[in-house]
Structure 1
Amino acid sequence: MTVDTTAQVAVLRELAGYTTTQGIPTLFAPRAGNEITAGLFFRVGCADETLATAGITHLVEHLALHRIGLSDAHHNGATANVFTLFHVTGTETEVVAHLNSVCASLRDLPLERLETEKEILRTEAAGRSRGVNQQLPLWRYGAQGYGLSSYSELGTWRLTPDEVRWWAQTRFTRDNAVLWITGDHVPDGLDLTLPAGRRIPAPEPSSALPQTPAYIGGDDGQVVLDAVVRRSTAASVFSDVLGRALFRELRQEGGYSYAVDADYSPRDAGWATVTAFADALPQKQDAVTGAFVDVLARLRAGRIEPAELESAKAKALKSLDGPDVAARALPSWALNLLMGHEILTPDQHREQIAAVTVEDVRDVAREAWSTALVQVPGRDLAWAGCASAPQFSEAAVAGTRHPSLEDDRVTLVIGAEGVSLTMPDGPVTVRFDRCVAMAARPDGARVLTGPDGFRVEVEPTLFKGVTPERIAAIDAAVPTGAVVRLPPREDVPRPRP
């Protein structure tokens, strides 16, 4: 639930400087040193896109930074699930020049660079490490909203200049932005003129899970937990307690794992994601899975060592000590203002941390388990009370049947309403009217993805009777905005013996 902006601003006026710059809310607080840092947040990210336009926000970020080129000031951009950030560190003159250039480019994007920047994004994606929690958002949310972080930026193959320009004009507006600066005043000479717009709320979460806790099979070598909890100080402390408990029991005592960690990350105004991870050698995976689940069960039962809780609270309190506390908190305050989340003073934050009890941590542990999605290495977690995440669709469509040339137990069905792949254990179906993206190759291959994350690959060379006419029927039924045309492939698949 979002909080009243007036209340947020009143708190900010007590904590730091607050003003507006060309209509953009602006926070500032001094920090030691000769240089200043500034950040310009926009409330738009990859969760606002569709699978067919995935990457459009990242494209705008790249285009906005292109004209800056080489600079003595340290600067960069970042596109996350629900925000985009442009940040810069340097002298006042360098910071002003940087921010002015970013906003000038947002007003008039260098769209002659569009194809070049698309290629750069695809190159960047090819070398990017996706992290341990790559697959779980897809299984939790499907191929939409917060689930898009599991996918590649498919839109970099099809986005047009008009689409990118419209995205910048409607999302990168003064009413959808917050600026923060680590200084005792707002520098002179800023020109952050941007079009008027509206504050866009974070996307409502979708769900591809009929029930939780749930599990999916994953690669050998790791166990990963993804849970959604209400944002709170107690939830943040719980995450640290969980990380400490996993480290002690899986690494120090059991010797099962080397890398063990837990993380608390706000998702939107009211909810956060808790992620926990442990690695394992193949011969230790059963032991790691069992110990991982046991730690979660212990915390849910309230069997929490006082030292675990006190250490986590001491770490949280330490982050609020030292000089420049307000300056260090500016990014967090700015993002909370943008998202509509409560803004705490350092004293309020300290009070909340000090007040967290074993019972509070136990309650968060229970909430986390009730929403848990766990990735385990090729095992099931039914014994722990977890349901299997859906592996198949409820039903197949009716239509022409095309047996697989590789496996006589598999059949592709192309109908008037969609496509299905029928297998011994069940079907996978994508309906045309709900298709969120269809990747199309010149050789006739089509990959259709539904909002639930299920996808059907139509390979004319691998199924009997998939003629150009059947492909044309699919093309005519899929919404135009969902079609992504990909370049030719070097190797067209052929049936295996």
Structure 2
Amino acid sequence: MHHSHVDGVPVLRSSEPGPLHATLRFGVGARDETYRTRGVTRQVAALAAHETRRRLPATAEPVVYTGVEETRFTVSGTPQEVTDILRTLCRALGEPPTGRPDETAFSCDDEAAVSLHPLAAAALNARYGAQAAGLLGQECTGCLPPTPDMLRTHAATWFTRANAVLTLTGPDPVGLRLPLPPGERPNRSAPKARYPHASWTHRGIEGVAVSLEAPAGSAAVAVAHRIVRERMTAALARRSASAAPAEAATVPHDSDTDVRLLFTPAPAGDTEEVAATVWSEALRLARIEPAQDEVDRHRDGPGSAGAQPCALDMAARTALFGTPCPLEGVTPGDVRDAWQRAMAGAQLVVPEGLLLHLAGPDGRRLWCTSCWTWDELPPWGEAFHEPLVKRAFRRAGERHWTVLTPEAVVTCRTGVHHALRFDDVVALQRWGPERVLIGRCGCDIGIDPAWYRGGRRLVRAVDEAVPAELAFDGAEGGRPPEGRPPHA
């Protein structure tokens, strides 16, 4: 592998015969966005790819991929073609549009979109809420696209030479230039998990998922992850021949931490048993060392062939994120101990309405971290009830009302309530007279003044309590999420 720098960008090249393959990588992805700027990374990438194709119509198209933490542009061709495309692409990234982009610029949006299983995305949302990687599982109905100012700011912050690395496979390109704009090394401050201890919670999913944090690049955790997935699949198959296999995913959280995910779909009437099976298999490895042959079988992992591309990929990730290289010599004890540490903060996610009685890693009852509070009186404040004419046609168990306090909006149903503090609001969508509050926890609360007596006063109070920079209008022609009362 050859190491060099071009215009301040690290370049890693593996010499091979044949055409030249180049991948220009940037350390930015969906986790670096906010609720309001969701999709801005892939739109910047799509615009740059579109502009490159417009300027060089006779050359190969750059293929765009936007992930959770990384955006890549891949190009193949002769050394001269690759050199021309990379130079044009870098200039396009430094010149984002000044007006609202033409919709034809987003023709490669489908290529650039982040692909993550809905169960895995929901588990990330449950762990981090409506921020960082948790945004991948956050419902966003009728959001406006990022503005030109958002596109320019995002490009100037993340698509710079200080946040880029180029990998090459093939002959040495002559006259290579990478005229990216200058910039500072990004300061990536990943949020902590909302609950640091082992727990379970609800999301609107049709299955079961487990998420846990572990050291990035840990070979012991990687082996444990594969072992637990295989064991879960076997345990589910013993229950039912038609059971779906467990799936796994790994999402980088910060330079030192990965989020390990395990998930499987589950029929509505079978979810509780599937959840118990998934959780027990995850716990078993944290308590008992695996057999040596099981460790040996999973040590190399899938896709171990092709060492050179893997070496380039690992070197690029180290250059972008400082990701450590995995260590060799994993023993059964290493696997058990690493998984045991990770399980101390594991989170089990199940469909709404399910109540679980499971033991945690410490043997005590697993803690429920649902945002809703049962069987307790809501905080004291000004109560906004439904109009009497509506209440007359409802059963008592279907009633809902909202309590306004100086610190929060509390949505209430009979026997249960959800308090959303104003300092935990990440966005406020306006839909004419209606409002939708999006909380850091990942929940949203809809407020229609027609639902309540004094509803207009409630809306005015919410508008005054939420900082103006967090408020924006919903997309024209859209509707609030399902036009419904509060959601958990």
* Short-chain TM bin: 0.7 to 0.9
> What is residue 440 of structure 1 aligned with on the other side?
430
Structure 1 CA distance for aligned equivalents of residues 346 and 257 of structure 2: 14
Superposed, 1:42-441 pairs within 5 Å as 42-69=26-53, 73=60, 75-112=62-99, 114=101, 116=103, 130-151=117-138, 157=144, 159-185=146-172, 187-209=173-195, 211-218=196-203, 222-231=207-216, 232-251=218-237, 255=241, 257-282=243-268, 284-315=270-301, 319=304, 321=305, 325-342=307-324, 344=325, 352-353=327-328, 355-377=329-351, 378-385=353-360, 386-392=366-372, 396=379, 398-399=381-382, 401-403=384-386, 405=390, 409-414=399-404, 417-441=407-431
How has the CA–CA distance of structure 1 residues 125 and 410 changed in structure 2, closer, same or farther, with 3 Å as cutoff?
A: farther
Return the letter of the residue paired with 2:295. L
How has the CA–CA distance of structure 1 residues 388 and 120 changed in structure 2, closer, same or farther, with 3 Å as cutoff?
A: farther
CA drift of 1:390 comes to 2.9
Structure 1 CA distance for aligned equivalents of residues 86 and 66 of structure 2: 17
CA drift of 1:271 comes to 0.9
CA drift of 1:254 comes to 5.7
How has the CA–CA distance of structure 1 residues 98 and 122 changed in structure 2, closer, same or farther, with 3 Å as cutoff?
A: closer
CA contact (8 A) 1:221 1:280 kept: yes
Return the letter of the residue paired with 2:38. A
CA drift of 1:459 comes to 1.5
CA contact (8 A) 1:73 1:88 kept: yes
CA contact (8 A) 2:245 2:264 kept: yes
CA contact (8 A) 1:139 1:389 kept: no
Q: Write the deviation string for residues 215-257 of structure 1: whole angstroms up to 9, x where unpaired.
A: 1235675221111111211111111111222223322686362
> What is residue 481 of structure 1 aligned with on the other side?
469
CA drift of 1:482 comes to 1.0
Over the aligned positions, Cα root-mean-square deviation in angstroms equals 3.3
Structure 1 CA distance for aligned equivalents of residues 460 and 406 of structure 2: 12
CA drift of 1:339 comes to 0.4
Return the letter of the residue paired with 1:383. L
CA drift of 1:152 comes to 5.2
Q: Write the deviation string for residues 371-416 of structure 1: whole angstroms up to 9, x where unpaired.
A: 1111234533432232112323796473352337466632123455
How has the CA–CA distance of structure 1 residues 310 and 151 changed in structure 2, closer, same or farther, with 3 Å as cutoff?
A: same
Return the letter of the residue paired with 1:380. L
Q: Write the deviation string for residues 310-346 of structure 1: whole angstroms up to 9, x where unpaired.
A: 1102546x71x55xx334421221122110122x4xx
Structure 1 CA distance for aligned equivalents of residues 186 and 313 of structure 2: 19
CA drift of 1:65 comes to 1.2
CA drift of 1:359 comes to 0.7
> What is residue 13 of structure 1 aligned with on the other side?
none
Structure 1 CA distance for aligned equivalents of residues 251 and 383 of structure 2: 47
Structure 2 CA distance for aligned equivalents of residues 301 and 166 of structure 1: 48
CA contact (8 A) 2:37 2:146 kept: yes
CA contact (8 A) 2:161 2:181 kept: yes
Q: Write the deviation string for residues 109-155 of structure 1: whole angstroms up to 9, x where unpaired.
A: 23445362798799999997753212122221122223222225689
CA drift of 1:452 comes to 2.7
Q: Write the deviation string for residues 34-69 of structure 1: whole angstroms up to 9, x where unpaired.
A: 222211222222222221222222221121111133
Structure 1 CA distance for aligned equivalents of residues 93 and 129 of structure 2: 31
Return the letter of the residue paired with 1:290. A
Return the letter of the residue paired with 1:356. V
Structure 2 CA distance for aligned equivalents of residues 251 and 288 of structure 1: 11
> Structure 1 residue 460 and structure 2 residue 449: aligned?
yes
CA contact (8 A) 1:229 1:272 kept: yes
Structure 1 CA distance for aligned equivalents of residues 256 and 422 of structure 2: 34
Q: Write the deviation string for residues 262-304 of structure 1: whole angstroms up to 9, x where unpaired.
A: 3344332111111112334455444433332332232122242
Return the letter of the residue paired with 1:47. R
Return the letter of the residue paired with 1:441. W
How has the CA–CA distance of structure 1 residues 181 and 396 changed in structure 2, closer, same or farther, with 3 Å as cutoff?
A: farther
Structure 2 CA distance for aligned equivalents of residues 229 and 175 of structure 1: 27
Return the letter of the residue paired with 1:376. V
CA contact (8 A) 2:206 2:267 kept: yes
User: Which stretches in structure 1 are left out of the alignment for 5+ residues?
Assistant: 1-15
How has the CA–CA distance of structure 1 residues 28 and 363 changed in structure 2, closer, same or farther, with 3 Å as cutoff?
A: same
CA contact (8 A) 2:48 2:92 kept: yes
Return the letter of the residue paired with 1:399. E
What secondary structure sits across from 1:159 in the alignment?
Answer: coil
Give the TM-score of the pair, scaled to structure 1.
0.82
What secondary structure sits across from 1:206 in the alignment?
Answer: coil
Structure 2 CA distance for aligned equivalents of residues 18 and 299 of structure 1: 41
CA contact (8 A) 2:214 2:342 kept: yes
CA contact (8 A) 1:22 1:192 kept: yes
Between stretches 406-415 and 198-207, larger displacement belongs to: 406-415
CA contact (8 A) 2:190 2:253 kept: no
Return the letter of the residue paired with 1:166. T
CA drift of 1:490 comes to 6.8
Structure 2 CA distance for aligned equivalents of residues 194 and 204 of structure 1: 26
CA drift of 1:479 comes to 1.8
Give the TM-score of the pair, scaled to structure 2.
0.84
> What is residue 450 of structure 1 aligned with on the other side?
439
How has the CA–CA distance of structure 1 residues 244 and 494 changed in structure 2, closer, same or farther, with 3 Å as cutoff?
A: closer
What secondary structure sits across from 2:118 in the alignment?
Answer: coil
CA drift of 1:369 comes to 1.7
Structure 2 CA distance for aligned equivalents of residues 172 and 97 of structure 1: 19
Structure 2 CA distance for aligned equivalents of residues 451 and 280 of structure 1: 28
Between stretches 376-385 and 53-62, larger displacement belongs to: 376-385
CA contact (8 A) 1:46 1:54 kept: yes
